[in-house]
Structure 1
Amino acid sequence: MGTTIEYYDFFIYGTAAALVFGTVFFPNSDPVTGTLLSLATFGVAFVARPLGGVVFGHFGDRVGRKVTLVTTLVMMGTATVAIGLIPSYATIGIAAPILLVVLRFIQGIALGGEYGGAVLMTVEHSPKGKRGFYSSWVQTGAQCGLIVANVVFLVVGALMNDAAFLSWGWRVPFWISSLLVILGLIIRLRLEESPAFESLQKAHDIAPAPVLVVLRRHKMAVLLIAGAAVGNSVTFYSATVFGLAYGSTRGFTRNEMLVVIIAAAVWVIAASILFGALSDRFGRKQIFITGNIAIAVTAYGWIRAFDTENQAVVLLAYLAMLTGYSMTWGSIGVFFAEAFDGAVRYTGLSIGFTLGVILGGAVTPLVLTKLVANTGSGMPVVLWVSASTLISALCALWVREIDPPSGRTVTSTRTRSDTPHPSIDTK
């Protein structure tokens, strides 16, 4: 639930950037330039995410997973509500886009620290043979957040005309975040700390400077994970942010594309859980690599589907490409978590993943929009997506998997009540 709320906050910005920010905050530009500028502000958060990974990774490995997750949620919610309160460019001039960039940067820092903690809280509470299944539920938080964000925009857009939507309606999804953050805080404050972290505390095995340990001993793991995460990030932001904007240039209305993306996200939720469970049986690496190859194979059909101007065909193409994406997304959390030992797992996972996200997600909507505008063709999109996923498959092949410390079901010590009586035959 907490991850859903954080991703909701993150994604309503992407939806607004694709639909209205070009007009509200960059009104003096032509439509294409305005869209490019608004997508550029969308990418600012990706630059901030590695910083969030370093800062909150440090505290997550030093202080604990729980307190870090509470902090990131409050930080994200505050920035999101504030975005909904920024006056337009027509009201305060250049200060409006400046405030937008600053608050988007804060969102990026918060999400950079969120993901690693959410994954670890689940992985480190899970039975050893079901970590992939349980961690896949955390992964679905991204899609749940995307669905809620798009549904809110869909409803708000349906209840008012375009003029009202551009004037103030787009702000409503940002204001709703305040209610969701309260719900998220109630949930996260009731969580128990990760048993793996508690074991590290009892053993006095807390790293004094996790970032330095990661940079000194785990540089290759971080770089490989970053490379492995690129394709996943490129695929997601190509399908959602770029796809939403591209569809509007190919004869589809805003609501038609929102419906397609919502339906595709529902499929990703179910498929991610399935492939997360299969990773427990067949291995994280095998599922992850296969998924990247599947994305590369289906990318051409996805972009060509827009030319049909048929909503059903576009939806089927989305489902086909995002099946491969679900294989990577459903297994990525536990796969990356198992590449680090417990004392630096939060930091290593957060830095590696956020670096991959910035390489893959920060520039993808911007670059693809510009390439299509310059060439008039969707082929650069296919090449961009396919190349990134094949590179990720290659990087994943070299990731070394380290079995993480035992979860709640297997403990390193016994309590007095767990110790069998010496007179009892325990064979």
Structure 2
Amino acid sequence: MKTPAGHSPVAPGEIAIGVIIGRASEHFDFFVFGMACVLAFPGVFFPNTDSLNAMLYGFAIFALAFVARPFGTALFMSIQRRWGRSVKLTASLFMLGTATAGIAFLPGYDSLGGTAIFLLALFRTMQGFALGGSWDGLPSLLVLNAPPAKRNWYAMFGQLGAPIGFLLANALFFYLIKSTSTEDFQAWAWRYPFFVAFAINVVALFARLRLVLTEEYTQALEESELEPVNTQELLDKQGPQIFLGAFAAIASYALFHIVTIFPMSWITHNNSQAMVDVLSIQMLGGVVGIIATIISGVIAGQLGKRTTVSLMAVLIGMFALFAPMLMDGGPALQDLFILIGFALLGISYGQSAGTVTASLERRFRYAGAALTSDFAWLFGAAFAPLVALGLSVQFGLHAVSFYLLSGSLCTLLALYINSRLEAEG
């Protein structure tokens, strides 16, 4: 493959492997925590309250990582500017490993009382800081080194890690619930996914270290001007583009936890299906999500990234109208909600990154892409399980419709504003 002009000869396929490994490990970690909020944490950390409130407390702690993530990005960008990329990634590795292992070994409420909940929240916040520091610039480098006609195809690889991470986390919980008693799962088996998350993150981050610290990749990053600029300078000069980029992706990010974590909590609250059956259909949904994400690269290659994201925002809005009927139906309709949701999520999320940030000044793209993603997660996905479950129980499942519709409208409005700004500029 011919290297695009102005870049060192770095194979996009090799970068893509590093991107997928890194993103899959991150999402595995986050999905493990989200699932544990439904499957384990109510009994382990919130035994003195009812199941609903226990899940809501867990989801509130779940959101802390997304709140911390932009601050982690800013902190570790500063570390990289001062001490280099290797120190930054090593420090984030140490923090992430400490937090994840801490959760795996953390005694429950029966042993530590409220201190256990405090430590759970602390470790979750540390995970968010660490994942903010794990940004390696590989997705941006991948797109810049891809042939111009195939950039939407290669952009998809940065998003493919999400359904892969979900599928792996879901499969592990399925195996544990299927092979252990309820008592054993609550006593010790729920900890195994966190041990696995720790191991996966260590391997993945060292694999990325090995990749991004080579002379060829360092040269390619420098030639592409992918540098860790000061966060204040970034927001001062490119702030509107950063926030437009975050809101342009919100439709898919809002859908993200609505089709992955929320159905588990709603079904658990209503006891409408056995959890092993839910996990089975979610595994199938993960496969659908992987296929749909790959297909997104083909669709965007024909229609363009912005048109694809706009079209999917409309379809997500239409899907939102049927959400109450599907989730309030029997197991078959609930399963249909999950599968359709994953199909929409895969195509939408597959192209959600870089819709606006591709127009950032090149020297701001490295830090800008990271911060845009952080804000998209924070505004679109961080509180989705908490808000969707809490409001649905209080006011009915139409709350989910309003949540998804608001995300669709934010995406369409952000894309419209950005197109007008580009036309005027």
Q: CA distance change for structure 1 residues 62 and 261 in 2, over 3 Å: closer, same or farther?
A: farther
2:245 match: 225
Matched, 1:100 2:120: yes
Q: 1:218 aligns to what SS in structure 2?
A: helix
Matched, 1:307 2:328: yes
User: Conserved in 2, the CA contact under 8 Å of 1:6 and 1:77?
Assistant: no
Q: 1:251 aligns to what SS in structure 2?
A: coil
- State the 1:4 CA deviation: 0.9
- State the 1:402 CA deviation: 12
Select 2:37's aligned residue among 17, 20, 43.
Answer: 17
Q: Distance in 2 between matches of 1:191 and 1:206?
A: 15
What are the residue-to-residue correspondences of 1:79-118 with 2, within 5 Å? 79-114=99-134, 117-118=137-138
Q: Distance in 2 between matches of 1:201 and 1:216?
A: 23
Q: CA distance change for structure 1 residues 200 and 271 in 2, over 3 Å: closer, same or farther?
A: closer
Q: CA distance change for structure 1 residues 83 and 242 in 2, over 3 Å: closer, same or farther?
A: same
Select 1:43's aligned residue among 55, 58, 63.
Answer: 63
1:286 match: 307
Q: Distance in 1 between matches of 2:173 and 2:143?
A: 33
Per-residue CA deviations over 1:14-66 (Å, capped at 9, x if unaligned) read: 00012221221111212221111111111111111111232334556787777
User: Conserved in 2, the CA contact under 8 Å of 1:3 and 1:118?
Assistant: no
- State the 1:106 CA deviation: 1.1
1:420 match: none
1:215 match: 235
Q: Distance in 2 between matches of 1:66 and 1:126?
A: 25
Q: 1:335 aligns to what SS in structure 2?
A: coil
Q: CA distance change for structure 1 residues 303 and 73 in 2, over 3 Å: closer, same or farther?
A: farther
Matched, 1:379 2:398: yes
What are the residue-to-residue correspondences of 1:12-411 with 2, within 5 Å? 12-58=32-78, 68=88, 71-114=91-134, 117-192=137-212, 198=219, 201=222, 209-248=229-268, 249=270, 251-311=272-332, 313-375=333-395, 377-399=396-418
Q: Which amino acid aligns with 1:370?
A: G
Q: Distance in 2 between matches of 1:62 and 1:282?
A: 42
Q: CA distance change for structure 1 residues 139 and 65 in 2, over 3 Å: closer, same or farther?
A: farther
Q: Distance in 1 between matches of 2:416 and 2:134?
A: 26
User: Conserved in 2, the CA contact under 8 Å of 1:338 and 1:402?
Assistant: no
Q: Which amino acid aligns with 1:100?
A: L
Q: CA distance change for structure 1 residues 256 and 401 in 2, over 3 Å: closer, same or farther?
A: farther
5+ residue gaps, structure 2, are: 1-20
User: Conserved in 1, the CA contact under 8 Å of 2:76 and 2:88?
Assistant: yes
CA RMSD in angstroms, aligned pairs only: 2.8
Per-residue CA deviations over 1:127-172 (Å, capped at 9, x if unaligned) read: 3222221221221111111111111111011111111111111001
Quote the sequence identity (%): 28
The structure having more radius of gyration, on CA atoms, is 1
User: Conserved in 2, the CA contact under 8 Å of 1:81 and 1:178?
Assistant: yes
User: Conserved in 1, the CA contact under 8 Å of 2:77 and 2:229?
Assistant: no
Normalising to structure 2: TM-score of the pair? 0.86
27-36 or 93-102, larger mean C-alpha shift: 27-36
- State the 1:86 CA deviation: 0.3
Q: Distance in 2 between matches of 1:221 and 1:200?
A: 22
- State the 1:202 CA deviation: 6.0
Q: CA distance change for structure 1 residues 328 and 115 in 2, over 3 Å: closer, same or farther?
A: farther
Q: Distance in 2 between matches of 1:293 and 1:52?
A: 33
Q: 1:191 aligns to what SS in structure 2?
A: helix
Q: Distance in 2 between matches of 1:320 and 1:286?
A: 20
84-93 or 364-373, larger mean C-alpha shift: 364-373
User: Conserved in 1, the CA contact under 8 Å of 2:245 and 2:355?
Assistant: no
Q: Distance in 2 between matches of 1:59 and 1:124?
A: 25
- State the 1:251 CA deviation: 0.7
Q: Distance in 2 between matches of 1:333 and 1:169?
A: 36
112-121 or 180-189, larger mean C-alpha shift: 112-121
- Aligned pair count? 400
User: Conserved in 2, the CA contact under 8 Å of 1:89 and 1:97?
Assistant: yes
Q: CA distance change for structure 1 residues 358 and 334 in 2, over 3 Å: closer, same or farther?
A: closer
Q: Distance in 1 between matches of 2:265 and 2:95?
A: 28
User: Conserved in 2, the CA contact under 8 Å of 1:341 and 1:402?
Assistant: no
